[in-house]
Structure 1
């Protein structure tokens, strides 16, 4: 049943309970009927306007007492008091509660001067107030639990979204890098078969190795969706040498330089550094038209610098699109920074990442 219909029924019941006993005390008058309506009919809006309803019912109750039309129990005011305690704000509860006590004391003491009746009436109002307070506390607990459940659902969805984005970045990096190298070497294969059969054989061997390694990494990445993420280690800086060798097989002159005191990185940082180098080399192979690439790893006390630069046509041309976006997201996720743009002296393209490693050393 709709709450408004329930409240209308309560208001009608309180009105009848107020008016009918009044027949036994005095002759019913229009003023009595009007005051009884004021003390009960506003209960229809008690949930939406608890404080004004309490004031209206209180005024009607006092008026009934003044014309000796108030029965043994002010039901309308009791319901209004319960509602005030259950749904009103703190300030409205304070003001309304004090006003209800004052009005009740006035009606009982000033008009009848019966302390026993005052005690009984006060007990009824205290019980109504306590019941309303209990209802409010229960609703607050329910709201708190619902809010907690909503936050947990949002956190789970956010975590799932981040995991999907991570898997998408991994698949992009793996496929873009491997397919780019395979395409370059496959295009060179037919020429080398005629001019340098021995090198052509190595190229085709590299294509096969690259394809197999790609499948392995894809299985490892997709295994996360089946709860198998811990079955195989993710690549890290130890794989940079292999990336450089594959780029050499694709026709690039690759130099790898490492400075400082190397140390073991946590898996997430190691994977991020590896992906920065991998995606940078992919962009060089696909877009840069470069002949030489420099990979530099610089270890400091609290950070690792990863830089990949080339002698290609620079940032004026397409430079990786979603790959650079994914690379930036990876670096930001571990608290690092990424800078991309023209290389030294404005030549070529430079990718430079700084990763925090001081707390992991």
Structure 2
């Protein structure tokens, strides 16, 4: 029923209502707009002041409460007619009230304003030509003039209401556009956060798995071969530095929402094989056929991250040899990672232990591919197919 207004809007409406009251009351008390000229007598003067006050308050309330303003305007009009006063300056407040009912009112007030515009035009015409203000004999010669007055008053009142309706439509369209832009921005932000979370998981999980494997190996090898411990520490150091650089880049992107995160491609696969072998894994890689050209960057990133996560799972949960089969066809790339499951087992298809399988599947789906992960006898197999499209 009441709309919140900014302090400046409230002060503006109060000042407008006060100024309108002062001008209108002076005019009404001195103008001969009724059948008996300017009001005389205390009751007549108070009545004039009363309906001027009602119209002024309605004008001041038009944005704060359009419904209340419409009711006050009707009360002022009825009091004005009861005092046998004709249309005058004070009635201009009606246009502002009708505009506000269409622009700011609720649905009920909106349609009440439309009904008031039509009804008000009829009431004005009847009051002027059937009321006490019309003293000439009533005959058919008055009908054309009455029709013209009815049409003019209807046009004037409907014009004010229509202008408000157009403003209401424009405001709603702007609000819908802003809401849509906010929703799109939130969707982009959510997508970006999910992508960064996947990258963070891939980088940290893989690097920590390599570090843990090297640390465990160095602990047992140090007693027999100090040189092996030194090599393991070097691998741990290089892996940790690379992971730290990737994490810093991801955190920078998360803070500033700009720039690209780590974007590995085919050239980084050899380093990935080397890291896994350095962790003590017997890795066998079979690439057939080789890439026919330069695959799209999105495909390269997806393939790299899927392989990285699959090898990380093999390192953490597998045992023995790990085989990677990678085939770059003209329209798709097919990959499979197979490893024997350790005693504690790899994550099962029914209940994954973490987000690894989910992240790999999302990686494949984002580029239009599909991924399956599950048990095959005593082995754990991750297989994926990713469409390539045109290559350069």
1: CA distance between counterparts of 2:391 and 2:324? 23
Deviation of residue 275 (structure 1)?
1.0
Q: Does 1:275 align with 2:305?
A: yes
Between 1:239-248 and 1:121-130, the stretch displaced more is 121-130
- Change over 3 Å in CA distance of 1:135–1:201 after alignment to 2: same
1: CA distance between counterparts of 2:258 and 2:113? 57
Residue pairs, 1:142-291, within 5 angstroms: 144-145=173-174, 148-149=177-178, 151-152=180-181, 155-156=184-185, 158-192=187-221, 195=224, 203=232, 206-215=235-244, 217-218=246-247, 221=250, 224=253, 229=259, 234-259=263-288, 262-263=291-292, 264-286=294-316, 288-291=317-320
2: CA distance between counterparts of 1:91 and 1:185? 77
2: CA distance between counterparts of 1:325 and 1:298? 23
* Secondary structure at the counterpart of residue 292 of structure 1: strand
* Secondary structure at the counterpart of residue 339 of structure 1: strand
- Change over 3 Å in CA distance of 1:115–1:50 after alignment to 2: farther
Does structure 2 retain, via aligned residues, the 8 Å contact 1:304–1:357?
Answer: yes
Does structure 1 retain, via aligned residues, the 8 Å contact 2:52–2:90?
Answer: no
Out of 323, 329, 333, the position equivalent to 1:304 is: 333
- Change over 3 Å in CA distance of 1:38–1:108 after alignment to 2: farther
2: CA distance between counterparts of 1:280 and 1:337? 15
2: CA distance between counterparts of 1:323 and 1:283? 8
Q: Does 1:343 align with 2:375?
A: yes
* Secondary structure at the counterpart of residue 311 of structure 2: helix
Out of 84, 90, 93, the position equivalent to 1:68 is: 84
2: CA distance between counterparts of 1:38 and 1:94? 24
Residue pairs, 1:317-356, within 5 angstroms: 321-340=354-373, 342-345=374-377, 347-356=378-387
Partner residue in 2 for 1:357: 388
Q: Structure 2, unaligned stretches of length 5 or more?
A: 1-6, 135-141
2: CA distance between counterparts of 1:290 and 1:99? 88
Deviation of residue 285 (structure 1)?
1.4
TM-score for the superposition, normalised by structure 2: 0.66
Does structure 2 retain, via aligned residues, the 8 Å contact 1:280–1:351?
Answer: yes
Q: Does 1:314 align with 2:346?
A: yes
2: CA distance between counterparts of 1:114 and 1:39? 32
2: CA distance between counterparts of 1:18 and 1:99? 27
Between 1:322-331 and 1:45-54, the stretch displaced more is 45-54
Partner residue in 2 for 1:24: 38
Deviation of residue 148 (structure 1)?
4.4
Q: Structure 1, unaligned stretches of length 5 or more?
A: none
Q: How many residues align?
A: 357
Partner residue in 2 for 1:108: 128
* Secondary structure at the counterpart of residue 358 of structure 1: coil
1: CA distance between counterparts of 2:198 and 2:97? 60
Does structure 1 retain, via aligned residues, the 8 Å contact 2:214–2:279?
Answer: yes
Does structure 2 retain, via aligned residues, the 8 Å contact 1:108–1:118?
Answer: no
> Aligned Cα RMSD in Å?
5.0
Does structure 1 retain, via aligned residues, the 8 Å contact 2:96–2:160?
Answer: no
- Change over 3 Å in CA distance of 1:35–1:219 after alignment to 2: closer
Does structure 1 retain, via aligned residues, the 8 Å contact 2:25–2:48?
Answer: no
The superposition leaves residues 277-299 of structure 1 with CA deviations (integer Å, 9 ceiling, x where unpaired) of 1112112212x142122323345
2: CA distance between counterparts of 1:213 and 1:82? 66
* Secondary structure at the counterpart of residue 309 of structure 1: strand
Partner residue in 2 for 1:13: 21
